[in-house]
């Protein structure tokens, strides 16, 4: 969810510019990405045991900074096209499949006569954006309320600006850490069923449906730490950890519940100050990279993502309500949207072939069980990708390197039998999603 009010956009122009180019980017590891930078992405995201560039180090394992031998700057971009369909009876629709893009950048600077390397980065940490168009399925109190043809927009965007450092303890071992300032935006523009209203006096309106336009934004922080170990020149092992992130975002929510109360459009409006508490999960990654032949390198990686402790519910607070609907629901309410995501294991493999000293070709694959249960699945939370195939190439020209990656998140269809969400509007529905992603990274050594 997200997009922020005008004052937030003024204070956060960099975020607004980036998000203006964004569309849907969901992958085989929930809302997290499959690797940072084109080199990692082309090998299925297997970078924990490699991370030999600033983007890989700051995004996947900060210990990689310790092995940098010269200042390097990475600048890249990611472009995605997402396709999807939703069906439930006559409520059929599709995702907006327009191309979209996001930038990323990182700088690594080894300190002179020191084993320490500093890193600075801006990286989109996790993204879930969905723009659907379909007829609102019947729901609400009584189970027959529909707002007709609607755009359904849901966004959760996390942008990380970080400072890190890597320390080369000896030629075989490097340690690293980074701390990041996290900017989060949340948006939900859709017909919405209240789920678990509190105080208890409002419980009679659990399941009530309204048109909702919710925008919040906020800041938090997280940290990463990692280790790289080289027992031989051709073999590396890596481990990295990302801490959980808690962000309290604030904004506003407005809407119109006219269909729920059988009234004309515009007659049952409301406005509240809104807050959303998002918890983004901790993650642990283990990997190995082996150059088993002068022209071949293989990498494997295992990630654990703790969605179960992060996406249990989505607490949404509404305060200081005004308007006819607020006089019915109350001036202050708390709604807890059930998510009930499960922990996720992501398995990654990658292979790189050095055609020449300056040209390499890469392929990869990743699989991660979808953390989203069918019981709470809606098109707006369809982070259901599981299988991703990748390919790419890298070319070095003097001080410059250019890396290109392609990822294809294979189509996944999920069917919902009986939804646990109140009003049951997504029961007996089907959602299909797939993603094509292209990334280009340019690196220069100083």
- pLDDT, one tens digit per residue, over 79-131 is 888 899 999 988 899 998 888 778 999 999 999 999 999 999 999 887 777 88
Percent of the chain having pLDDT more than 70? 92
What was the pLDDT predicted at 174?
98
For residues 20-26, give the mean pLDDT. 40
Task: State the pLDDT confidence band at 198, using cuts at 50, 70 and 90.
Answer: low
Mean per-residue pLDDT of the chain = 90
What was the pLDDT predicted at 197?
74
Q: Is the pLDDT of residue 9 over 60?
A: no
For residues 325-351, give the mean pLDDT. 91
Q: Is the pLDDT of residue 11 over 50?
A: no
Per residue in 359-400, pLDDT tens? 999 999 999 999 999 999 999 888 899 999 999 999 999 999
- Give how far the C-alpha of residue 52 lies from the chain's centroid of Cα atoms, to the nearest Å: 24
What was the pLDDT predicted at 7?
36
What was the pLDDT predicted at 15?
36
For residues 408-419, give the mean pLDDT. 95
Q: Is the pLDDT of residue 431 over 70?
A: yes
What was the pLDDT predicted at 195?
86
- 44-48, 54-58, 113-117, 198-202: segment of lowest average pLDDT: 198-202
Task: State the pLDDT confidence band at 196, using cuts at 50, 70 and 90.
Answer: confident
Q: Is the pLDDT of residue 40 over 70?
A: yes
What was the pLDDT predicted at 4?
37
> Where is pLDDT greater, at 146 or 3?
146
Which residues are 105's β-sheet partners? 75, 122
> Can you name the CATH fold of 6-445?
Porin (2.40.160)
The helix (H) or strand (E) run that includes residue 118 is strand 116-135
> Tokens in use for 195?
């789920």
Per residue in 207-262, pLDDT tens? 889 999 999 999 999 999 999 999 999 999 999 999 999 999 999 999 999 999 99
C-beta separation of 86 from 67 below 8 A: no
List C-alpha distances in Å: 121 to 56, 159, 171, 280: 10, 11, 25, 19
Cα–Cα distance measured from residue 407 to residue 80, given in angstroms and rounded to the nearest whole number: 9
List C-alpha distances in Å: 130 to 100, 167, 394: 12, 40, 32
The three-point CA angle 295-74-444 to 5° equals 70
Residue located via tokens 């059988």: 262
Domains in the chain: boundaries: 6-445
Cα–Cα distance measured from residue 181 to residue 385, given in angstroms and rounded to the nearest whole number: 28
Task: State the pLDDT confidence band at 29, using cuts at 50, 70 and 90.
Answer: low
Helix ranges restricted to H, 259-373: 307-310, 324-329
Helix ranges restricted to H, 322-374: 324-329
For residues 270-282, give the mean pLDDT. 94
Residue 54 DSSP label = H
Per residue in 122-168, pLDDT tens? 998 877 778 899 999 999 998 999 999 999 998 888 899 999 999 99
What was the pLDDT predicted at 207?
86
pTM confidence score: 0.90
Q: Is the pLDDT of residue 406 over 90?
A: yes
C-beta separation of 80 from 90 below 8 A: no
Look at the chain and count its residues.
Answer: 446
Highest mean pLDDT among 3-17, 213-227, 415-429: 213-227
Cα–Cα distance measured from residue 106 to residue 322, given in angstroms and rounded to the nearest whole number: 46
Cα–Cα distance measured from residue 119 to residue 66, given in angstroms and rounded to the nearest whole number: 10
């Amino acid at each position: 969810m997200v997009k922020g009010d005008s004052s937030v956009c003024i204070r956060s122009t960099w975020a607004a510019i980036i998000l203006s180019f964004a569309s849907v980017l969901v992958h085989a590891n929930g809302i997290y990405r499959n690797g940072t930078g084109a080199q990692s992405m082309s090998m299925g995201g297997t970078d924990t045991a490699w991370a030999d560039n600033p983007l890989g180090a700051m995004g996947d394992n900060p210990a990689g900074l310790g092995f940098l031998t010269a200042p390097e700057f990475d600048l890249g971009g990611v472009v995605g096209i997402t396709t999807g369909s939703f069906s439930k009876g006559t409520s059929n629709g599709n995702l907006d499949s327009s191309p979209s893009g996001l930038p990323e950048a990182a700088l690594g600077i080894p300190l002179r006569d020191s084993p320490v390397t500093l890193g600075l980065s801006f990286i989109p940490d996790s993204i879930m954006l969905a723009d659907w168009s379909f007829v609102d399925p019947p729901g609400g109190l009584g189970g027959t309320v529909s707002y007709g043809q609607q755009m359904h927009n849901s966004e959760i965007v996390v942008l990380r600006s970080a400072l890190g450092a890597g320390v080369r303890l000896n030629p075989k071992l490097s340690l690293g850490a980074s701390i990041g300032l996290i900017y989060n935006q949340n948006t939900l523009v859709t017909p919405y069923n209240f789920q678990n209203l509190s105080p208890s006096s409002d419980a009679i309106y659990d399941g009530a449906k309204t048109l909702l336009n919710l925008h919040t934004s906020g800041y938090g922080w997280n940290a990463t730490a990692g280790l790289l170990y080289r027992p031989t020149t051709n073999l590396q092992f890596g481990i990295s950890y990302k801490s959980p992130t808690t962000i309290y975002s604030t904004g506003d929510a407005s809407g119109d519940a006219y269909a729920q109360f059988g009234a004309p459009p515009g007659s049952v409006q409301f406005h509240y100050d809104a807050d959303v508490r998002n918890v983004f999960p901790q993650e642990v990654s283990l990997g190995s990279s082996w150059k088993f032949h002068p022209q071949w390198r293989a990498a494997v990686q295992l990630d654990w993502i703790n969605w179960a402790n992060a996406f249990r519910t989505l607490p949404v607070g509404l305060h200081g309500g005004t308007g006819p609907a607020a006089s019915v629901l109350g001036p202050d309410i708390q709604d807890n949207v059930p998510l009930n995501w499960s922990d996720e294991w992501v398995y990654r493999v990658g292979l790189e072939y050095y055609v020449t000293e300056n040209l390499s070709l890469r392929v990869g694959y990743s699989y991660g069980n979808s953390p989203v249960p069918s019981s709470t699945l809606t098109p707006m939370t369809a982070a259901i990708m599981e299988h991703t195939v990748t390919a790419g190439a890298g070319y070095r020209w003097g001080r410059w390197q250019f890396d290109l990656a392609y990822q294809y998140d294979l189509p996944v269809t999920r069917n919902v039998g009986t939804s646990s969400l109140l009003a049951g509007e997504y029961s007996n529905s089907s959602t299909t999603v797939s993603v094509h992603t292209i990334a280009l990274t340019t690196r220069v050594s100083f």
